[in-house]
Amino acid sequence: MAYAFIFPGQGSQSVGMMNGFAELSIAKDTFLEASDVLGKDFWSMVTTGTEETLAQTVNTQPLMLTAGIAAYRTWLHLGGTHPTALAGHSLGELTALVAGGALSFNDALIVTETRAKAMQEAVPVGVGAMAAILGVDDTVVEEICTLAKEQDVLEPANFNSPGQVVIAGHRSAIERAVKMAKEKGAKRAVILAMSVPSHCSLLTEASEKLSHILDTITVSVPTIPLYHNVHAGPSHSPQEIKTALITQMYSPVRWVSCIQAMANLGITTFYECGPGKVLAPLVKRIDSQLTGIALNDCNVMKNAIEGN
User: Catalytic: 235?
Assistant: no
Give the model's pLDDT for residue 119. 93
Give the model's pLDDT for residue 266. 96
H helical segments located in the chain? 25-38, 42-48, 51-55, 57-77, 92-99, 105-122, 138-148, 171-183, 204-214, 238-248, 255-263, 280-286, 298-307
Q: How far apart are CA 253 and CA 159, in angstroms?
A: 6
Give the model's pLDDT for residue 81. 95
Whether the model clears a pTM of 0.85, i.e. scores above it, the answer is yes
Give the model's pLDDT for residue 97. 98
Give the model's pLDDT for residue 1. 75
CB atoms within 10 A of CB 133: 27
Give the model's pLDDT for residue 282. 97
308 residues of the chain, pLDDT tens digit each: 799 999 999 878 888 899 999 889 999 999 999 999 999 999 999 999 888 888 888 899 999 999 999 999 999 999 999 999 999 999 999 999 999 999 999 999 999 999 999 998 999 888 999 999 999 999 999 999 999 999 999 999 999 999 999 999 999 999 999 999 999 999 999 999 887 899 999 999 999 999 999 999 999 999 999 999 999 999 999 999 999 999 999 999 999 999 999 999 999 999 999 988 999 999 999 999 999 999 999 999 999 999 87
Catalytic residue among 12, 35, 89, 90: 90
Largest CA distance in the chain: 56
| Dihedral sign, Cα of residue 13, residue 8, residue 212, residue 195 | negative
DSSP secondary structure letters along 209-272: HHHHHHTTS-----SS-EE-TTTSS---SHHHHHHHHHHHTTS-B-HHHHHHHHHTTT--EEEE
Give the model's pLDDT for residue 85. 98
Q: How far apart are CA 24 and CA 144, in angstroms?
A: 48
Catalytic residue among 12, 89, 195, 199: 199
Taking each helix axis from N to C end, the angle separating 92-99 and 57-77, rounded to the nearest 10 degrees, works out to 30
User: Catalytic: 90?
Assistant: yes
Determine contact, residues 186/121, Cβ cutoff 8 Å.
Answer: no
CB atoms within 10 A of CB 306: 9
Burial of 239 (0-12, 13-18, 19+ CB in 10 A): exposed
